[in-house]
Amino acid sequence: MFGWTGKVLWVDLSNGRVATRSLDPRMAREYVGGRGLGVRHLLDHVDPRTDPLGPDNDLVMATGPLTGTAAPTGARYMVMTKSPLTGALTCSNSGGHFPAALKKAGWDAVIFQGRAPEPVYLWVDGERAELRSAAHLWGKSVPQTDAALRAETDPAAKTAVIGPAGEAGVRFAAIMNDRHRAAGRSGVGAVMGAKNLKGVAVCGDGRVALADEKRFRSLVTKYIRGFKKSFGDGPVPLREWGTAVTVIGTQNFGVFPTRNFQTGRFEGWEKIDGRMLTEKYLEQAKACFACPIACGRGTRVPEGPYAGEGEGPEYETVYALGSNCGVDDLAAVTRANYICNEAGMDTITMGATIACAMEMSERGIIPEKDVGLDRRLAFGDAAALVRLVEMTAKMEGFGRLLAWGSLRLARHYGHPQYAMVSKGQEFAGYDPRGEQGMGLAYATSPIGASHMRGDPAYIELLGVPKQIDPLTWHDKPQIVVDWQNVFCVIDAAGLCVFFSVRNYVRPDEAIRPEGICDLLNAATGLDYSVDELCTAGERIFNAERLFLVRAGFSRRDDSLPPRIVAEPLPEGPAEGMVCHLEEMLTDYYRLRGWDADGIPTPEKLAELDLA
């Protein structure tokens, strides 16, 4: 095979066995890789109603055919399992250098089954793989574990590990690779912890075999030149200011979530914007494997109570731990981000859960004594923000309740309406009242609210690849369907959306992954058509929906909180707007080929070979 390695590593943690199996060429073609291979495995091998933290739940780490190649941003992998945060599917994405190392070691995917009797880690040295004891690593932070694994295996090894949060079962624990990059959403780290799997260390220096190397190199050169030309002599915004440069856009559109989504404008936005981060704390822009962008932020807070160094924060962290908590102290936000990375926690859910707690505390719902601080919890309290993150990482005091995520926390106090979630997962940093397509995308995402399983912000706010009015809703169902399908292809191919959307996706009558198709054909030699690749994206998305249906999800779960559909935004360009979800949902189901309850019809399943 070209592009793919043709091999999958199966790890039975219960009995300590490691085995190699061949990748089915037909499955590779129809599901591409990454996200597609992950959901196909879960459909075939995991009961959708199983306990996410039980031994019968599998965890899949899957690369794509472009992972580890010279394709710009060919650095991604997917972690897929059943979520302990939501009970739904997860498909958590990460970059860095670990995914490329896994692919160069010769593996398209690693599948973990069962539960180890004692803590272990997996050591992959090219085609050789073995489980080793991790008893001495249990309780160690992400940086400590990374250093220990490389010392025990190879200094050049790349790692993906959990920290204390994953071991303790924090419902939104992340898997951290290359120390600072997170497969962050939905609690994949908690699943890893429940399996007594501390981490994976990989050494791989092979080459990904390509069908047409000359053509592939030519395409890579073409897209890199086009990328540079698009910015002329000016700076590349994501390299210069990181993803937190998004703050200025969401603030201007009035969709920058503030104080638990009570409004979409934050008076302290300039203090936590990407430009301020670059000016005050940036040490080095950091790039993933084969990335021309370098949006990663190597930062250092030099002094004060929040002094430290690490990577981040990026936009979603700035929103969640900053504006959403009413905090404009960038040093505190950055320190809270470091703690999350070291413990292995999703910054979005962490910040959103604290914001939910702050609102309930201000409304008198959470007693001061429950929180355990020396004062009432309130928006804007930077010191409380950092302390609560620490408490959650250590699972101490009120942190044990925060470790549930915002919906369980709000239900515990009898007020679930204050949890800004869909399917139990917290919103990303865009208020859907001022961005209608995002509201539909949140509600119908297979993993719960997520901007990375199909992100209409590109087309609604950024005008990439074309501009659409963010406040209209009648035209959004088709756009969201197209966008979700294209993101399936991006995730399956092993690419990052930042480069892919700008350079590989073209607006036709629909949003189409034309450049990705060219690269895949040169890499694999399979001669995909653009239509076939769009169908592959649709197949992946419907396979994920099928898993959800079997897990008991339906239309009632494609929902948004009362605040979003009934309370108008109080200010900004979207003042007076609510999200018109119900007006969009029926048309969305029709376009998807699903019935009125959101279940794929037999005809649609047969059309996609999912029957």
The string of pLDDT tens digits covering residues 346-389 is 999 999 999 999 999 999 999 999 999 999 999 999 999 999 99
**508: pLDDT strictly greater than 80:** no
Let me know: does 457 contact 435? Beta carbons within 8 Å: yes
Residue 96 φ then ψ, to 5°: 85, -140
Give residue 223's pLDDT band: very low, low, confident or very high (50, 70, 90): very high
Q: Cα(46)–Cα(532) distance, rounded to whole angstroms? A: 27
**Residue 231 banded pLDDT, cuts 50, 70, 90:** confident
In terms of domains, do 337 and 471 share one?
A: no
Boundary-marking domain end, from 419, 443, 461: 419
- Phi/psi at 452 (5° precision): -100, 5
Cα–Cα distance between 396 and 172 in angstroms, integer? Answer: 16
Kindly state whether residue 252 falls inside one of the protein's structural domains.
yes
- Mean pLDDT, residues 27-52: 98
Task: Give strand ranges (E) for 13-156.
Answer: 17-22, 59-63, 77-82, 89-94, 109-113, 120-125, 128-133
Residue that finishes a domain, picked among 419, 453, 469: 419
Do both 411 and 450 map to the same domain?
Answer: no
> Do 444 and 414 sit in the same domain of this protein?
no
- pLDDT at position 64, please? 98
Q: Domain for residue 373, yes or no? A: yes
pTM over 0.85, yes/no: yes
Tokens 């101490």 belong to residue: 396
More confident residue, 97 or 506: 97
- Whether 104 and 196 share a structural domain: yes
Question: Would residue 225 count as lying in a domain?
Answer: no
Instruction: Give yes or no for a contact between 25 and 1, defined as CB atoms under 8 angstroms apart.
Output: yes
Instruction: Report whether 239 contacts 295 (CB < 8 A).
Output: yes
Judgement on whether residues 118 and 185 belong to the same structural domain of the protein = yes
Q: Are residues 391 and 277 in the same domain?
A: yes
Nearest to 175 by CA among 71, 83, 291, 42: 83
Q: What pLDDT is recorded for position 466? A: 84
CATH number at residue 15: 3.60.9.10
Cα–Cα dist 97/146, whole Å: 13
- For 78, the token pair is 């997917």
Do 482 and 397 share a domain, yes or no?
A: no
Strands 158-161 and 175-177: antiparallel
Q: What is the pLDDT of residues 305-337, one digit of tens each?
A: 999 999 999 999 999 999 999 999 999 999 999
Instruction: Give the single-character DSSP code of 448.
Output: B
Length of the chain: 611
Strands of 279-337 (E only): list them. Answer: 282-286, 296-301, 308-311
pLDDT, residue 234, reads: 87
Instruction: Report residue 230's pLDDT band, with 50, 70 and 90 as the boundaries.
Output: confident
Q: How far apart are CA 2 and CA 516, in angstroms?
A: 16
Asked if residue 89 and residue 189 are part of one domain, the reply reads yes
Q: Note the pLDDT tens digit of each residue in 477-505.
A: 999 999 999 999 999 999 999 999 989 99
Provide the pLDDT confidence category of residue 148 given band limits of 50, 70 and 90: very high
Tell me the pLDDT of the chain averaged across its residues. Answer: 97
pLDDT digits (tens, 9 = 90+) for 242-257: 999 999 999 999 999 9
Task: Quickly tell me which residue has 């004891």 as its tokens.
Answer: 133
State the pLDDT at residue 384.
98
The pLDDT tens digits of the residues spanning 130-144 come to 999 999 999 999 999
Same domain for 472 and 523, yes or no, is: yes
Beta bridge partners of 19: 10
Q: Model confidence over 552-610: pLDDT tens digits?
A: 999 999 999 999 999 999 999 999 999 999 999 999 999 999 999 999 999 999 999 99
The last residue of one of the domains, among 367, 391, 419, is: 419
Say whether pLDDT at 509 is over 80: no
433 and 414 within one domain: no
Q: Indicate the burial class of 537 (C-beta count within 10 angstroms; 0-12, 13-18, 19 or more).
A: buried
pLDDT level of residue 507 (50, 70, 90 thresholds): confident
Residue 216 lies in a domain: no
CA–CA distance, 388 with 410 (Å, rounded to integer): 16
Q: Is residue 146 part of a domain?
A: yes
Q: Does the pLDDT of residue 510 top 90, yes or no?
A: no
Residue 121's pLDDT is what? Answer: 98
Identify whether the C-beta of residue 586 lies closer than 8 Å to the C-beta of residue 596. yes
Mean pLDDT of 525-539: 97
191, 298: one domain? no
DSSP string, 216-265: HHHHHHHHHHHHHHHHTTS--HHHHH-GGGHHHHHHHHT---BTTTTBS-
Select from 52, 96, 106, 47 the least CA-distant residue to 74. Answer: 96
Q: Could you tell me the CATH number of the domain that includes residue 536?
A: 1.10.599.10
* Residue 180 per-residue DSSP state: T
Residue 228 domain-assigned?
no
Per-residue HEC secondary structure of 123-170 comes to EEECCEEEEEECHHHCCCCHHHHHHHHHHHCCCCCEEEECCHHHHHCC
Q: Which domain holds residue 390?
A: 239-419
Does some domain include residue 210? no
Residues 431 and 284 in one domain: no
Q: Looking at residue 381, which CATH number applies to its domain?
A: 1.10.569.10
Q: How many domains are contained in the chain?
A: 3
Instruction: Kindly tell me the sign of the dihedral angle through the C-alpha atoms of 279, 281, 282, 283.
Output: positive
The answer to whether the bond into 477 is cis (omega within 30° of 0) is no
In a domain, 230, yes or no: no
